Amino acid sequence: MQSTIRKAVIPAAGVGTRFLPAVKAIPKELLPIVDKPTIQYIVEEAVASGIEQVILITSRGKGAIEDHFDISFELEEILKWQKKEDLLRLVQEVSSMVRMTAIRQKEPKGLGHAVLCAREAVGDEPFAVMLGDDIVDSDPPCLAQMVEVFRQIDGGVIALQRVPESKTHLYGIISGEKVGERTYRITGLVEKPTPEQAPSSLAVIGRYLLPPEIFPILEHTLPGKGGEIQLTDGLQALANSMPLYGYEFTGDRYDAGDKVGYLEANIAFALKRPQMVERLRAFMEKIIRA
Ligand code: UTP
């Protein structure tokens, strides 16, 4: 299998019901973590991991995501005129970050279907999938850690995180055999099992390195849980026919598609900003004491 990963698919076509009414007119992926849209953290991770092209899966009403990564002539002119050089550079960095292709998923038929929409754009090479609302704060970046594993093994790699038993019903959970310090050979996957049904406490999170063989599998994957074409079901079929590995990454992961996860990400990233940390800490101490 080719050992370089050049393309990353970012599915961002979901409805985002957990964030209504905020996401009626604004894509969930553009909600800011401090002052940067959620999806920009993910694109930055992709670029820092060697990705050359991002394939964005969008839907009706989500055009603002593409605009965010495009040149904004008017804004640049205003910033030039106002002599705000730092802000001008910041804005220009976003539009020159990466080559981006957008593909519409016409109906929200599930994550597996969203990935299948990228088939032609990806072609016949291994690729990354990074969920548009899953942020991982780590050094080296989570995707770069996975690419390193991918170079050493022959098969797909999916990111894993240990979760408490009480939370297995929120994730895809794997069964597998430990083959390295943080690496597992996957034998099975179950979507959102109850704690009793869960084969382990290792949850699949939003980073995947997949071979192109996943596409014909997804094409024939029937709707599963929630009536959606589940990527987890496709991965189970892939694991039956090719080696598939799980990798327990190092770093902090935030589910920005969940309200509490979103707030946690905002607090964690704000506390990293020297100009904010003192005021924020003082405020948090005050409200916790109250
Ligand atoms: P979620 O499970 O978070 O679904 O999708 P959602 O619609 O975005 O949000 P809720 O659950 O209604 O609040 C996980 C990722 O898969 C994408 C989403 O955009 C998100 O990045 N997705 C999901 C698609 O691109 N298409 C789909 O049909 C479903």
The total of structural domains in the chain comes to 1
Determine, yes or no, domain membership for 2: no
Distance (Å) from CA 181 to ligand 1 centroid: 31
Q: Establish if 214 belongs to a structural domain.
A: yes
On whether residue 167 sits in a domain, the answer given is yes
* pLDDT score of 157: 98
Does residue 140 have a cis peptide bond before it, meaning omega lies within 30 degrees of 0? Answer: yes
Residue 154 DSSP symbol: S
Question: Rounded mean pLDDT of the chain?
Answer: 95
Distance 274 CA to ligand 1 centre (A): 33
Q: Is residue 118 part of a domain?
A: yes
What is the C-alpha separation between 159 and 69, in angstroms, rounded? 26
In 3-state terms, what secondary structure has residue 22?
coil
Q: Could you write out the DSSP letters of every residue in 224-236?
A: -GGGS--HHHHHH
The CA distance from 232 to 188, in Å, is: 10
Nearest residue by C-alpha to atom 5 in ligand 1: 14
Residues with CB under 6 A from ligand 1: 11-18, 57, 105, 108-111, 113-114, 131-133, 257
CATH number of residue 142's parent domain? 3.90.550.10
User: Is residue 96 over pLDDT 80?
Assistant: yes
pLDDT value of position 290: 80
Amino acid, single-letter form, for residue 91 = V
- Determine the distance separating the centroid of ligand 1 and the alpha carbon of 17, expressed in angstroms: 9
Rounded Cα–Cα distance for residues 232 and 168 (Å): 14
pTM for the full predicted model: 0.96
CB 75 within 8 A of CB 49: no
Query: What pLDDT is stored for residue 2 in this prediction?
Result: 67
CA distance 137 to 269: 9
How confident is the model at residue 3, as a pLDDT? 72
- Confidence band, pLDDT 50/70/90 cuts, at residue 226: confident
pLDDT at 256 over 70: yes
Range of the domain at 92: 7-289
Query: Is residue 191 pLDDT above 90, yes or no?
Result: no
Per mean pLDDT, which range of 32-41, 219-228, 241-250 is the poorest?
219-228
Report the separation in Å between the CA atom of 225 and the middle of ligand 1, taken as the mean of its atom positions: 14
Coil/strand/helix, residue 134: strand
User: Mutate which of 133, 134, 230 to test ligand 1's pocket (most atoms within 8 Å of Cβ)?
Assistant: 133
pLDDT score for 1: 63
Q: Is residue 161 part of a domain?
A: yes
Whether 1 maps to a domain, the answer reads no
Q: For position 168, what pLDDT does the model report?
A: 95
Angstrom CA distances, 89 to 39, 53, 84, 92, 257, stand at: 19, 22, 9, 5, 29
User: Does a structural domain hold residue 179?
Assistant: yes
- Separation in Å, CA 141 to CA 50, 51, 95, 147: 10, 12, 21, 10
Cα–Cα distance between 19 and 11 in angstroms, integer?
17
273 in a domain, yes or no?
A: yes
CA of 104 to the centre of ligand 1 (A): 14
pLDDT per residue over 21-54, tens digit each? 999 999 999 999 999 999 999 999 999 999 999 9
